[in-house]
Structure 1
Amino acid sequence: MGGLGKTALARKIYNTCDVKTRFEYRGWTSVSQEYKTRDMLMRIIRSLGVASGEELEKIRILAEEELEVYLHNILEGKRYLVVVDDIWEKEAWESLKRALPCNHKGSRVIITTRIRAVAEGVDERVYAHKIRFLTFEESWKLFEHKAFRNMERVDEDLQKVGKEIIQKCGGLPLAIIVLAGLMSRKRPNEWNEVCASFWRRLKDNSIHVSTVFDLSFKELRHELKLCFLYLSVFPEDYEIDVEKLIHLLIVEGFIQEDEEMLMEDVARYYIEELIDRSLVEAVRRDRGKLMSCRIHDLLRDVAIKKAKNLNFVNVYNEQHSSTTCRREVVHHLMNDHLCDRRVNKQMRSFLFFGERAGTSWGYVNTIYLKLKLLRVLNLGGLHFGSKGYIPLRVPDEIGELIHLRYLGIADNFIRNLPAFIFNLRFLQTLDASGNDSFRKVTDLRKLTSLRHLIGRFVGDLLIGDIVVNLQTLRSISSYSWSKLKHELLINLRDLEIYDSMWVDQIRVPLDLSSFSKLKNLRVLTLKVPTFKLSSEEAVQFPTLVELRLRCDIKRLPKDMDLIFPSLESLRLVGLHLEEDPMPVLKKLQRLENVLLDSCDYSGVKMSISEQGFGRLRKLVFYIDGLEELQIEEEAMPSLMELKLRTRGQQINLIIPDRLRAFLEPLNTTS
């Protein structure tokens, strides 16, 4: 049965430290009822993490048989783990297993399925682990952990109602956790009323996930209902980037600005509430901040059904395309046939989350872009053009979509933004990440509503004087940064400055005093040749929590704690360090994450004393030149993750035994 925890168990195994270290390669693919073997192969190849972005682009054009050979060659002679999630037909496995070599290296394949015949008929060597329902005691423990977590006292009446509820759940974990999330937000006097509503919805006195969902959905506020239904735009088992989701919710008009909170913060609060209600699963957090989430496939199914009944979202398929729904989404390969048929004059939003056609370069037919009422357009990963011609630029038709609030053109292989972009005066989010560096002048001075600008603008970037709404600017050259009126960027939260040695551009010394005017800056990424960092210039970053540096500085300033009093995360990339940075870093009392990435060290030894690093949870070294790391017994009491990677030399580790449990060597000879 769906909701028993098959995928959850497989994912738990897949992500354990023991499994990560045992298998050289790990891959994951979801199958579902409608599957394409080619899609499954591509998902496994991507999840292995061994193919570069350029290599992935090359293999996209391979035929299915060629992809099988490609994957087979990668895994041959390696110990690998592959998870094939949610198989409905034995044929799906048969079409995939040819690409998985039997190399007697201890490799494993985990399959999840709801069909017993599929599980037992896969292979004569298979071990079928049947996931059972929870016992009453296990169900009650799960329920009370969630439902009563906000209560100081739980009386007998509440316990009686709770036990009646879980008795009806029949040991189904998904039903229990969703109902517990609902009850956790109810006052004790409301429990009996909710329970009575639950009984009325039961069919044949048995629990159904749709029954639980209907009850939980009914209890949501209108804004939360819109946010939850909008999750149906994402494919099954899709890891949703929370930043992207927030941007979309805002431009769709679902979020209203609060007197004390920006719309982005309100949207994040709504997503966290859906997680708290167990309608959405948190996948990845960084220092407590939600980075990605996922919706269970059963809850997604009922959300899609309800969204379709309300004409809220239409998930396109080749047999049916709505002519009235204002939001449409494509989850599969974009091809010529689809592009030629997709014309819906009522459309306000179109989102693409599939892939380009497998045996040829996919494109978006420009006839489809002539939809004057579009507010949201996400075409990440597609080419623009017409049959036989793929220009590396944005088509002119987009310049006529004057109502656009969101334009997603990430990974489109475009080289510059066209001049007509200034027509999109209502644009709030422009995501052009994953493309080549934009080397020409980009004029956005008329885009006064812009809140999030994402791309690599190494040429001149003109954003004008009215930029008070801008919160994200990734990334801009030091020259363009020097030309801006920094005092106007009062709401800027996330800034990246990038100077590329491969691009002809004017470089200017980075004046860090310009950052002192950014009163709300939280994340700063500097990829510049060099700069001076000193508190003598009265440069302070009171709100900055994350700093990423890639430059040619040889040593960190002694007074970093005065410059960055609130810093929680520090990433140093490509630095050539002459001195041990630990004595400086330990003064940063709020520091939780430290990552030294691709750094060189001129010294021999690094030492971490008992003083400082009281909150540090993650320490990662990808560093050359280090010969000895010494950590004192009482140092870093909160550490949960320790990773080391070196190149060609042994590291003498003098560390407490309690930290060895967290040690995770990565591609190291130590």
Structure 2
Amino acid sequence: MYMIVLDDVWKTDCWDELNQVLATNTCGSRIIITTQDESVARHVNEKPLKLNFLSEEKSWELFSKKVFPVERCPTDLEDLGKQMAEKCKGLPLAIVVLAGVLLKKEKTRRWWSKVSSHVSSILTEQTDQCIKILQLSYDNLPDHLKPCFLYFGLFPNDFEIAARKLFRLWIAEGFVQKKDNEKMEEVAEEYLEDLIARNVVQVSKMHVDGTVKACCVHDLLHKICIFKAKEEKFLEVRAFGSSYTLPPNSRRLGLHSSMLNYISSNPASSTLRSMLCFGPDERPLSLEAWKLLYKHFPSLRVFDAWIVGVEVIPNDIHKLLHLRYLTLKSPTAQTLPASISNLWNLQTLVVAAPHIDRPRLNIWKMKELRHLRFHGQLLLPEPPNENDSNNVSINLQTLYCISPDSCTERVFSMLPNLLKLGIHGNLEEHRLSKKFQNFSILNCLQTLKLERDRSCRKLDSLEYVVFPPNLSKLTLVGRQLLEDPMDIFLDNISFFFFFQIS
């Protein structure tokens, strides 16, 4: 009889070689293998035991045993001890490292109170010890996942990232490799699931269909991201108090301080490809700041100014001709410039500007566009020539929100791969005109949102609305249906997954 423990296994070869020389018997022998890689675990056993992050109770149990290996924790220190254990967020390594610090120090309430206020900085001081252990997680990632993992370093610590946003950023950065007939978003989702299975990324929210809605990385792994990213010259982060100067050939920048102060400091970098802004500013990006942006960062591909906001969307925004990803929010902008259609490389465009009324956007010129979200009513021109295949927007998957005026047969016929559609405006008028029968053209459509303009008559019925065959989610906003819609759903939809009224 024997028991063998193989700790922190990263490759299946280790098990295969050992398994060849082990005798098959029923004497009660046991082999225990630990690994961070779920694929390795499933290679050994189809139903491995998955160890999740520790609960608050289990975190406290491990913490107290490490700090007090013999006696019990004094009752006057329990509340502070539980606070510190909770701040380790269920990661056993962090708990053990912190407990190791406390084990060697005086066990007084004064000292523990001081430590509790600086848990993050204390763990940072122990980074060398943690890096040696956690770096294995990074070193054993496949090459295609390493940039995806390091990208988390651009975001602030404890930042919850929407999975769909992360997919679009990865695609814009060129991290996602095209695979057979799969959409790049599907490949990106596989990348994220792989990172989760390898326990380097945590799920923070789930969709009702079981897919990941939002994710994050543990504090210690976030430090690994930044440490390795700087070591490999992959990204830079600028927080309050740090130098504005960027190293030569910097490619990506996470701004956790004032964006206006940063741009005004003239930190020119012709090689910078990505700028993600997280620091709150007292005022939004002005026209003068836009000019500095063109001048100092002409090669930008990714520009996320959602949190900062912009004062105006300039007419010459097309000067940032390399843009692939652009998100803007403006409380004051009055127009959406037509020149935005000249951003031919743009894949994702998100604009929220309540004072821009029914702007017209020529999406037929934007051949790379995959996801378009406008918070309002967007007008689409008719395609130039319905017989010209060059006008088909083959990449467009998300289109929120367009005016009902744009729900024409010609427009929808040019959107063969559209998955998500939002309509905002006078729904009842266009329902009666039978324009919503054109939805039937959208064979790939899965999600439809109908939102009434509050100044218009309420939507009374879904009669004359023909739903596409693959629709799985319908959301109605600001409706007042006078009849039960289920009969219409059953007549129109072969498989209905989710219906929401708000």
Q: Give the TM interval when normalised to the shorter protein.
A: 0.5 to 0.7
Distance 1:380 1:131, change over 3 A: closer
Matched, 1:418 2:342: no
Query: What residue in structure 2 maps to residue 216 of structure 1?
Result: 137
User: Is the 1:378–1:407 contact (alpha carbons within 8 Å) kept by the matching residues of 2?
Assistant: yes
Matched, 1:478 2:404: yes
Query: What residue in structure 1 maps to residue 484 of structure 2?
Result: 556
Determine helix, strand or coil for the equivalent of 1:458.
strand
Determine helix, strand or coil for the equivalent of 2:229.
helix
Q: CA deviation at 1:415?
A: 3.1
Q: CA deviation at 1:474?
A: 0.5
Q: Percentage identity across aligned positions?
A: 29
Query: What residue in structure 1 maps to residue 446 of structure 2?
Result: 522
Q: Distance in 1 between matches of 2:344 and 2:432?
A: 31
Matched, 1:234 2:162: no
Q: Distance in 2 between matches of 1:394 and 1:245?
A: 24
Determine helix, strand or coil for the equivalent of 2:254.
strand
CA offsets, 1:225-272, max 9 Å, x none? 111111111111111011111111101111122213100010011111
Q: Distance in 2 between matches of 1:540 and 1:448?
A: 27
Q: Write the letter of the residue equivalent to 2:329.
A: A
User: Is the 2:202–2:218 contact (alpha carbons within 8 Å) kept by the matching residues of 1?
Assistant: yes
Q: Write the letter of the residue equivalent to 2:498.
A: S
Determine helix, strand or coil for the equivalent of 1:445.
helix
Query: What residue in structure 2 maps to residue 326 of structure 1?
Result: 251
Query: What residue in structure 1 maps to residue 379 of structure 2?
Result: 460
Distance 1:463 1:511, change over 3 A: closer
TM-score, structure 1 as length reference? 0.52
Distance 1:213 1:412, change over 3 A: farther
Q: Note the 1:165-244 alignment, pairs <5 A.
A: 172=96, 208-244=129-165
Structure that is richer in helix per residue: 2
Distance 1:361 1:375, change over 3 A: closer
Query: What residue in structure 2 maps to residue 405 of structure 1?
Result: 324
Q: CA deviation at 1:339?
A: 2.9
Q: Distance in 2 between matches of 1:6 and 1:271?
A: 18
Gaps of 5+ in 1: 13-123, 135-141, 144-165, 175-205, 385-391, 574-670
Query: What residue in structure 2 maps to residue 366 of structure 1?
Result: 291
User: Is the 2:303–2:323 contact (alpha carbons within 8 Å) kept by the matching residues of 1?
Assistant: yes
Determine helix, strand or coil for the equivalent of 2:224.
helix
Query: What residue in structure 2 maps to residue 306 of structure 1?
Result: 228
Q: Distance in 2 between matches of 1:342 and 1:366?
A: 13
Distance 1:564 1:432, change over 3 A: same
User: Is the 1:393–1:414 contact (alpha carbons within 8 Å) kept by the matching residues of 2?
Assistant: yes
Q: Distance in 2 between matches of 1:508 and 1:426?
A: 38
CA offsets, 1:508-565, max 9 Å, x none? 745333222222211110114437545xx79454322211013332122324234233
Structure that is richer in strand per residue: 1
Q: Distance in 1 between matches of 2:319 and 2:303?
A: 13
Q: Distance in 2 between matches of 1:314 and 1:207?
A: 20
More RCO (CA 8 Å, sep 6+): 2
Q: Note the 1:636-647 alignment, pairs <5 A.
A: none
Query: What residue in structure 2 maps to residue 378 of structure 1?
Result: 304
Q: CA deviation at 1:484?
A: 4.2
Distance 1:443 1:487, change over 3 A: closer
Which deviates more from structure 2 when the two are superposed, residues 425-434 or residues 244-253? Answer: 425-434
Determine helix, strand or coil for the equivalent of 1:222.
coil
Which deviates more from structure 2 when the two are superposed, residues 505-514 or residues 271-280? Answer: 505-514
Determine helix, strand or coil for the equivalent of 1:127.
helix
Query: What residue in structure 1 maps to residue 275 of structure 2?
Result: 350
Q: How many residues align?
A: 381
Q: CA deviation at 1:434?
A: 5.7
Query: What residue in structure 1 maps to residue 494 of structure 2?
Result: 565
TM-score, structure 2 as length reference? 0.68
Q: Distance in 2 between matches of 1:248 and 1:393?
A: 24
* Alignment equivalent of 2:217, drawn from 265, 270, 295: 295
Query: What residue in structure 2 maps to residue 153 of structure 1?
Result: none
Q: Distance in 1 between matches of 2:94 and 2:243?
A: 38
Q: Distance in 2 between matches of 1:9 and 1:340?
A: 45
Q: Distance in 2 between matches of 1:561 and 1:508?
A: 21
Q: CA deviation at 1:428?
A: 0.8
Distance 1:380 1:133, change over 3 A: closer
Matched, 1:129 2:53: no
Distance 1:9 1:509, change over 3 A: farther
Gaps of 5+ in 2: 1-51, 60-75, 99-126, 384-390, 453-457
Q: Distance in 2 between matches of 1:507 and 1:343?
A: 53
Which deviates more from structure 2 when the two are superposed, residues 287-296 or residues 541-550? Answer: 541-550
